[in-house]
Amino acid sequence: MRRIGETFTSAGRPLFIAFIVACDPDFESSVAAARALVEGGADIIELGVPFSDPVADGPVIQRADVRALAAGATPDSVFEIVRRMRLFSTVPVVLLTYYNIVHHRGISRFYREAGEAGVDGILIADMPVEESGPVMKVAEKTGIDQIFMVCETTSPERLEQILKNARGFIYLVSHMGVTGVLPALPHGAMAFVRYIREKTHMPLAVGFGVATPAHAAELYNAGADAAIAGSAIVSIIEKHRDDMESMKKALKNYAISMRAATNGPGGA
């Protein structure tokens, strides 16, 4: 069993997935942020590959991409962050990227280098499953889990294809729109989780808007296997970007609070 699947299987509880943008605000801070989140209890780290046009992301993560690119972020530096993470942790690492980055580097090269660095899964946010054949072949060859997003407007036909081809977990988008912290998750998100839960036994991870332990607990009670927090974490990094020690402390405390929600009602 691959590392992502093993993590879901062995945990015996829902997982907390933490998202950061690689090299935000710089390389060393990014490594430190990942370490703080792992020390706080994050089960999986999702690492965003900086991109100039991140169409799925809201202003918080867009600003992080700008900072990272200004700091010189490249796929090489992203892979190096993963290699550095592997010196202190075996938690699964998932890359969130866009197809242009993968295509420009070459599918085979991108996946080979990602696997060699220690990446466990890749999500290409703007790659439709209907056009994923070449990528899926390389992903299987390199042993990397290809992860797909599903939203409420995903057609039954596309959903069937995704459930057939996805590996690792299914990324459920909690609401239509871009990433960003929400004061409350839409009621429809819980019904959406239950709907997809009836379709598959694959782990379901929910992102977009997830920011608090209460959000996570609500999703777990609806049947989600993991909650993904991104903008809330990136906001912490943005706030403390000039003080690494404060950043690490705040990130670790946030991870501790989110991790605690996995042991609440419905989280055992």
CATH number at 116 reads: 3.20.20.70
Burial 192-211, CB ≥16 within 10 A → b, else e: bbeebbeeeebbbbbbbbbb
- Cβ–Cβ < 8 Å for 53, 80: no
Name the pLDDT band for 80 (thresholds 50, 70, 90): very high
User: Would 266 be classed as within a structural domain?
Assistant: no
Clarify whether 238 is annotated catalytic.
Answer: no
Q: Is 264 within the bounds of a domain? A: no
* Residue ranges making up the domain that contains 60: 3-258
Query: Catalytic site residue 130?
Result: no
Q: Tens digit of pLDDT for each residue in 8-67?
A: 999 999 999 999 999 999 999 999 999 999 999 999 999 999 998 877 677 899 999 999
In a domain, 110, yes or no: yes
Number of structural domains, the chain? 1
**pLDDT score, position 182:** 56
Q: Which of 24, 26, 43, 46 is catalytic?
A: 46
Asked, for residue 101, whether it belongs to a domain, the answer is yes
pLDDT-derived band at 263 (thresholds 50, 70, 90) equals confident
Instruction: Exactly one of 43, 57, 65, 218 is catalytic; name it.
Output: 57
Give Cα 160 distance to the centre of its chain. 22
Confidence of residue 140 (pLDDT cuts 50, 70, 90): very high
154 domain-assigned: yes
In a domain, 77, yes or no: yes
263 lies in some domain: no
Instruction: Identify whether 265 is part of a domain.
Output: no
Q: Can you give the C-alpha Rg of the chain in angstroms?
A: 17
